[in-house]
Amino acid sequence: MIPALKVAVDGGPYGLAAGADDALWVTLVHAGAIARVTTTGDVTVYPVAPQSRPSIITAGPDGALWFTRTGDDHIGRISTAGELNAFPLGEDRGPYGITAGADGALWFTAMTSGEIGRISVDGEVTEWHAVGGAPSMITTGPDNALWFTLNQANAIGRLSPADGLTVRELPTAAAGPVGIAATHDDAVWFTEISAEKLGRIPLQDAIQEIDLPGKPHAVVADPGDGVWVSLWGSHQIARVSEDGEIVTIDLPRGSEPHGIAIGPDGAPWVALEAGFVLRMPI
């Protein structure tokens, strides 16, 4: 059994991702920094820039970690040795979600301008796609297309070179979709923070919804089956199996769970904005 581990990290841990160096990399949205957290609890902090508000982070195809700087309209890159680079996007973009694409580039959402952007591993922004609706988080689906939540349009978007842009409206009105993740069951799962539901899109079938407590925020595929979800509003983590069974784990009140990722040890890790990174026992 992998035991629980609670690691104190100041600065507002928000998004996190496993790196190629077998550590967790965490955005510190309030401190304007990135933290590296090992599976034994050692922490190294790398300052980025004041007011940069690093938000979502992902492992890139080049072995580095790439992240959005929502506060100052940049895409950031940090190597596993801690070397930082920044790439400006222009004013009023509001970058938020980011994922590695099937084409060897990074794709990100621009919530303020309502766009999906593509940036190469050389730092060149090569494409912009207008989608509207405040695109939030983004993932590469099992079909190698880009899937993303449209928070203000109450919809899920899909973008691919072959098919262009398609948009699927959610069954529940004003659901406020945010988190999204591809899973091993050939589906895309997403959170509906305002409706307190978890959604699932089998690639060729209708959207399914499952009721959850407490404003689900981020979602990640479990290595076995199903998904893990952070429940920001109820201070919990939930595991939802492929057949819809829900198990919740309570966290301290006020912990504000946000980003969630599977660590190099195979355990789910969650970023608590109150000042901790937590490994869940499995």
Tell me which residues are annotated as active site. Answer: 258
Supply the DSSP string of the chain, one letter for each residue: -PPPEEEE--S-EEEEEE-TTSSEEEEETTTTEEEEE-TT--EEEEE--TT--EEEEEE-TTSSEEEEETTTTEEEEE-TT--EEEEE--TT--EEEEEE-TTSSEEEEETTTTEEEEE-TTS-EEEEEE--S-EEEEEE-TTS-EEEEETTTTEEEEEETTTEEEEEE-SSTT--EEEEEE-TTSEEEEEETTTTEEEEEETTS--EEEE-SS-EEEEEE-SSSSEEEEETTTTEEEEE-TT--EEEEE--TT--EEEEEE-TTS-EEEEETTTEEEEPP-
Q: How far is CA 113 from the centre of its chain?
A: 19
Q: Which residues have C-beta within 8 Å of that of residue 64, sequence separation ≥ 6?
A: 77, 78, 79, 80, 121
Number of CB atoms found within 10 A of residue 249's CB:
16
Please state, in angstroms and rounded to a whole number, the distance separating the CA atoms of residues 168 and 202. 12
Q: What sign does the CA torsion over 48, 52, 53, 55 have?
A: negative
Please state, in angstroms and rounded to a whole number, the distance separating the CA atoms of residues 212 and 96. 24
